[in-house]
Every structure is written in C-alpha cells, then in structure tokens.
Amino acid sequence: MFLQDLDLDRIRERHRAFWQREIVDRVCIAVTAPTDGPAKALPQARDDEQLLAAPQFAVDWALANLENTYFAGDALATACAPGNLLYPALGGEGSFGSGTVWVEPTVHAWPEWDAYRVDPNNVWAQRFLAVNRALAEAAGGRYLVSTQGFFGATDAMASIRGYQDFIVELLDEEAAPTIRAAQQRAIVGHEAIIRRAWRDVAAFQQGTVTVPMIWAPGTVNFWSADFSCLIGPASFETWLVPDFEAMIQLCDFSFYHLDGPDAVRHLPRVAALPGLHGIQYTPGPQSTLALTIDVTRRIQQFGKATFLWCDIRDVERLSCGNSTRADSSCARMRRIERRPMISCGKRRSGVAGKPCPAGNGRAEAMVKKQARRRKGRPTLRFRSTRAASVRRHDELLITYPLIAFTHEADGHWKK
C-alpha cells in the first residue's frame, strides 16, 4: 500500500494532536500486516554493503516491501535509510558484517581526543545521506521518508573510545576538559549531518517522520543514549544533559527512547528537560509487556507523550478483555491498578490530566478487533465517541496517546 491508499489528512490531524497530548476522535493506532495475495519478491543483496548502503537497492527494496504491507489505522507508508550507517560517521573504524555496521575504537587514550574532528562529508555520512536522498527523490508522493532516530553524539564517543575506558576517563578531572571540547565538536558535526538529512527530505515531502511511523509537521528526532545505562546521576548530569539539550534545541519535535531497565533511573532528569515532547520506554528482552506499566504511567505523569510498540500477539494482554484467557501478566496488571490506568493527555473539551474514558473505550474496541486472527487482512472498525463507553474500565490498563501495533510480514494474520 502507498500513501494514496490512506486517509492522509485525517492521519496527520491525529498525529498533530498526539504531539499536543490530545485526542481528535480516538487514540492513534498504527497497524501493519501482510497484504492479501502472493507477496512480491524482495530484492536480495549480494553483501552487507549493498544491503545497507546501495541507494538503488534501498529504493527497490522499499517499494517491494511497501507493496507487500497493509497499513491500517494511523499507520503511514514509510521508508528509511539504515541508521546504522551513521554509527561510524562520528568516528571509529567502521565495517560491514552480519547485516549491520560495526565500529572499532580509534581513540586509545584521552589525550588523543585533542586531535578528534568530525567531517560531515566522511564516507559513512555520505553513504547514509545518499540512501536517504535516493529514497526521497524516488518517493513521488507514494511514501514518506523516515529519518528514524539519530543517536546522541556522546553515545558515539563511547564507541570511538570503548565504553569501559570512556567511563573511567569521564571521572578523571585532568581528562574532563579535553573530552568536553571533543564532545562539543562531536555535537556540531552530528548536527550538520542531521540537518542535511532533513533538508534532503523536506524538498520532497511535508513534515518529517520517525519511529514508529510518527509524523510531525516539523523536524523530529527519536534518539537514545545506551551509554546512560552505565553511568550514575552525577555523570549523567555532567555529560549527557548538555548533549540532550543540544538535540532538543535542534528539533522542532523531540522524542527520547528510554532503553532498558538500567536507563529508568534517569527518567526524572530526562523528563525535566525543557522542550522535550515525549519519552518512550522499552523494557528489555527479558521483560514482559506488563512490566512497562509503571514506567509508562510515570512518563505520562511527567506530562510527556508516549507510545507503545508491540507485536499483535500482545494485544490481548494489553486489553485483558477476557479474564479467562488472560495470562499471569494480565492478572498482575489488574492487581496493580483497578481503575483506568492513566490520563490520555488533554481532551479538546476537557482539562489536562483528566482521564479519558471514551478514549479508553475506543482503544478497547480497537484492540479486541485486532486480537482476532483472520484469514485475510485485518478489518478495522472504529466506534464513535459516545458508543465506545467502557463497562469495565478495570480491564483496560494500557491507554496511551498513541498505541502502535507492529507486525512482521510472517503470515501470522493468515493462520
């Protein structure tokens, strides 16, 4: 499917409301599934370099993938240049392998940061920008080019030096001024690459898109700092807050990816950053979906937009509409909260921070529809505001401003 198959104006209206933590007629929900009929064969790359860095291959793969994908709800047809091409763009020795890009440290002692510079025209930045530009030029109104997420400059520096050594040197008072100066150069160089990517996309589409198919009327970034999981509050304040503040200033719309349980300790400080629009939490591979509830509630209580990115198999756990089929995670969720979980943000006719029962009802109706396994593609039916009142609020615990259901095209819908 392509953009011309979607109600693009209506979807954009809901996405605008999302950034204001408001609801137009229902919560945003993005659903993807395989299309009916035989799938179009995806092009096969001869090696990782072609897979990630060949502009024409990226265009051909994106078009075939979009033709094979059914977009429902507020999902948008998007394509993107692989963000991992940027891993070595700020420094380090990059190489292709195992379907990604690897970075080997090239700074081996803190005095070497004196010579550190970022060339926005380096080969890795140019590879990313070439793919990004090719996708934008080929779109022709059929899809939007997503800039995905540009990671932070300090995260890149940790890879260039090696995480363990970098952490130790951040605590060295003698090394700190040298590292600080290098950090400022990294931020400036990184921003030059980001601006160029935005500029190339802006020539062919209105607004920008980031993960997961969230559209914004201006420039947007969804970024993370894996490095934050390894440091305490004092180092976070000293080294990452300036990096984050620069990123927020760079964007019209900013969204931070709180990646893993070890990053949660920094949530209050991240939420206090002026101008930050949203925060999204990912619990980690060993966690269950239920364990994200408390963190997500805290994010909303801080007044930030958020979204949940889940597999279609988790929809029933989220709604917990049938207690006889709900698993132990749902039982735990009900013990945690026996009322509507949290505010959906402001309603157009309401007050900020008030619960939105009608929004909860629409979400419940939606997820119950999507939880059914169909032989064909999913059918979406949206209830009206008044018809969607919920009889049992205690069974609907996840009510976010945007719920994004994603699904790989593995034929699950056809089982």
User: What pLDDT digit, counting tens, does each position of 256-291 carry?
Assistant: 999 888 999 999 999 999 999 999 998 877 666 667
CATH number of 3-313, picked from 2.40.160, 3.30.70, 2.60.120, 3.20.20:
3.20.20
Say how far apart CA 149 and CA 337 lie, in whole Å. Answer: 33
Residue 221 near residue 409, CB atoms below 8 Å: no
Q: Look over the chain and give the mean of its residue pLDDT values, rounded to a whole number.
A: 78
Q: Is the pLDDT of residue 57 over 70?
A: yes
DSSP state of 78: E
Say which amino acid occupies 409.
A
Residue spans per domain, the chain = 3-313
Which residue has better confidence, 310 or 125? 125
Q: Pull the structure tokens for residue 270.
A: 């991240």
Q: What tens digit of pLDDT does each residue of 141-191 get?
A: 999 999 877 888 999 999 999 999 999 999 999 999 999 999 999 999 999
Q: Is the pLDDT of residue 413 over 50?
A: no
Q: Pull the structure tokens for residue 318.
A: 């989220």
Q: Is the pLDDT of residue 10 over 90?
A: yes
Confidence tier at 63 by pLDDT (50, 70, 90): very high
Q: Is the pLDDT of residue 201 over 80?
A: yes
pLDDT attached to residue 387 = 25
Say which amino acid occupies 382.
F
Residues 6 or more apart whose CB falls under 8 angstroms from that of 110 comprise: 161, 169, 172, 175, 178, 179
Torsion sign (Cα): 354, 355, 358, 362: positive
pLDDT attached to residue 26 = 80
Confidence tier at 129 by pLDDT (50, 70, 90): very high
User: What is the arithmetic mean of pLDDT over 368-376?
Assistant: 41
Q: Pull the structure tokens for residue 266.
A: 């920094």
Which residue has better confidence, 337 or 130? 130
pLDDT attached to residue 280 = 92
User: What is the arithmetic mean of pLDDT over 11-29?
Assistant: 89
- Of 51-65, 304-318, 349-363, where does mean pLDDT reach its minimum? 349-363
Orientation angle between helical segments 241-250 and 153-161, nearest 10 degrees: 130
User: What is the arithmetic mean of pLDDT over 250-259?
Assistant: 94
pLDDT attached to residue 28 = 83
pLDDT attached to residue 399 = 33
- Of 27-31, 192-196, 232-236, 326-330, where does mean pLDDT reach its minimum? 326-330
Which residue has better confidence, 164 or 329? 164
* Percentage of residues of the chain with pLDDT beyond 90: 58
Residues 6 or more apart whose CB falls under 8 angstroms from that of 33 comprise: 69, 70, 72, 312, 377, 378, 407, 409, 413
Residues 6 or more apart whose CB falls under 8 angstroms from that of 264 comprise: 258, 281, 295
pLDDT attached to residue 244 = 95
Q: Is the pLDDT of residue 88 over 80?
A: yes
